[in-house]
């Protein structure tokens, strides 16, 4: 029998991290000592307090049933308190908060609620791939907004033309940014809110890295600026905030009509988060400040070791103020990010992510993830010294 993929599936580019995982498995099968600076999966364990609370909640038979699609009211209340304490933003737990099976779920499902065939999503380039794939699955078209170094990796809203804006329904933003590790100031969020209101756009701010920051920098919430809650929503993930990548728990907050649309899609496609994990999520938010103080110190030490080491090898890289990524231009002799990443894997047994995998504007760069120990990062720099 012959089966053909749908047109929508055929429109998708290869998912970057699947390709990286394939290369990683092959190298490890060959018994090579791989230093993995590719995928952003925290190497430190989930805090023990969170694990202990999960064990307790998992033994409670009340948590053994299907969870509510809209999430536990106790967890939503805790998210609302966290937002008030962290960002000074007031949220209605009943209508303005929706727990998710990780923020990726909500980000990729959101276009199904608001995009019709022929509609456009405005998407930064380079970007986290689900912004594009979610739009394509909904029958829409991604319109790419280049993020270039000369503009501090911020999209130039003034370059968007009216015919494009007339078809646009959603604008994705992501600060602190993956993959570029760039940040934005309050003024940029204010400009986006004004822009969205003018052209009747939904703003989707992916704030997965809002809690990983250094050198005194403290990211703000898009919902904090005037017009933020009127025009958009914000996605968060406990994967990065509390080292809970495998747990699949996140949430989206903001405009109640947008939340209702995402919730309707969610209720027809999947279910809510396991109640015991939501209870553990409450503990994660309770201890977030203490946990993040430790983790941000670790990531800053790793950042310094990597950036200082690469700069000694001839790179010119500024130390990022947020995320656990370093976005670096290719060495002068290298033209292709895929070829350079392949060279680094073949000759130095190091996995890094080629910038082109995040979009055309990512060509000429590679991304390093700070998700191995400082000692392994220093070893990676020593290995790179031999091939650059």
Residue pLDDT tens, the chain, 388 long: 889 999 888 888 776 667 777 777 887 888 889 999 998 899 999 999 999 999 999 999 999 998 888 889 999 999 999 999 999 999 999 999 999 999 999 999 999 999 999 999 999 999 999 999 999 999 999 999 999 999 999 999 999 999 999 999 999 999 999 999 999 999 999 999 999 999 999 999 999 999 999 999 999 999 999 999 999 999 999 999 999 999 999 999 999 999 999 999 999 998 899 999 999 999 999 999 999 999 999 999 999 999 999 999 999 999 999 999 999 999 988 889 999 999 999 999 999 999 999 999 999 999 999 999 999 999 999 999 988 7
What integer pLDDT is reported at residue 17 of this predicted model? Answer: 67
Structure token digits, residue 58: 């998992």
Give yes or no for a contact between 168 and 141, defined as CB atoms under 8 angstroms apart: no
Q: How many CA atoms lie within 13 A of 368 on its CB side?
A: 30
Place of tokens 């977030």: 288
- Sign of torsion over alpha carbons 131, 132, 134, 139: positive
What integer pLDDT is reported at residue 16 of this predicted model? Answer: 66
What does the alpha-carbon distance between residue 205 and residue 234 come to, in Å, rounded to a whole number?
5
Sequence-ordered list of residues with C-beta below 8 angstroms from that of 241, at least 6 positions apart, any chain: 211, 212, 284, 288, 292
pTM given for the model: 0.95
Q: Which domains does the chain have, with CATH numbers?
A: 7-46+289-385 (3.90.1150.10), 48-288 (3.40.640.10)
What integer pLDDT is reported at residue 30 of this predicted model? Answer: 85
Residue 125: in which H helix or E strand, if any?
A: strand 120-125
What does the alpha-carbon distance between residue 95 and residue 15 come to, in Å, rounded to a whole number?
33
């Amino acid at each position: 029998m012959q089966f053909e993929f749908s047109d929508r599936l055929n429109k998708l580019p290869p998912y970057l991290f699947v390709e990286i995982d394939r290369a990683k498995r092959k190298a490890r099968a060959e018994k090579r000592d791989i230093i993995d600076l590719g995928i952003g999966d925290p190497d430190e364990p989930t805090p023990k307090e969170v694990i202990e609370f999960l064990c307790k909640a998992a033994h409670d038979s009340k948590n053994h049933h299907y969870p509510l699609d809209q999430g536990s009211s106790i967890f939503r209340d805790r998210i609302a308190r966290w937002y008030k304490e962290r960002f000074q933003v007031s949220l209605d737990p009943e209508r303005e908060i929706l727990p998710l099976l990780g923020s990726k779920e909500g980000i990729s499902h959101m276009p199904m609620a608001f995009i019709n065939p022929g509609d456009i999503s405005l998407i930064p380039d380079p970007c986290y791939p689900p912004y594009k794939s979610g739009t394509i699955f909904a029958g829409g078209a991604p319109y790419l907004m280049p993020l270039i170094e000369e503009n501090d990796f911020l999209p130039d809203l003034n370059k968007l033309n009216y015919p494009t804006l007339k078809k646009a329904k959603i604008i994705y933003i992501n600060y602190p940014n993956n993959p570029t590790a760039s940040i934005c100031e309050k003024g940029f969020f204010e400009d986006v809110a004004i822009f969205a209101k003018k052209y009747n756009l939904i703003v989707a701010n992916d704030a997965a890295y809002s809690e990983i920051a250094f050198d005194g920098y403290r990211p703000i919430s898009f919902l904090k600026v005037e017009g933020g809650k009127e025009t958009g929503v914000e996605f968060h993930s406990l994967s990065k905030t509390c080292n809970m990548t495998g747990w699949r728990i996140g949430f989206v907050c903001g405009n109640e009509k947008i939340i209702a649309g995402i919730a309707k899609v969610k209720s027809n496609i999947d279910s809510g988060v396991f109640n015991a994990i939501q209870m553990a999520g409450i503990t994660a938010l309770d201890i977030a400040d203490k946990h993040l103080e430790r983790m941000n110190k670790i990531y800053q030490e790793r950042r310094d070791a990597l950036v200082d080491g690469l700069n000694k090898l001839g790179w010119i890289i500024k130390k990022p103020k947020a995320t656990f990524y370093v976005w670096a231009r290719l060495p002068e002799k290298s033209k292709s990010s895929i070829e350079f990443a392949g060279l680094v894997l073949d000759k130095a047994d190091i996995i890094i992510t080629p910038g082109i995998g995040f979009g055309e504007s990512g060509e000429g760069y590679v991304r390093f993830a700070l998700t191995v120990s400082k000692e392994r990062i220093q070893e990676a720099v020593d290995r790179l010294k031999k091939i650059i």
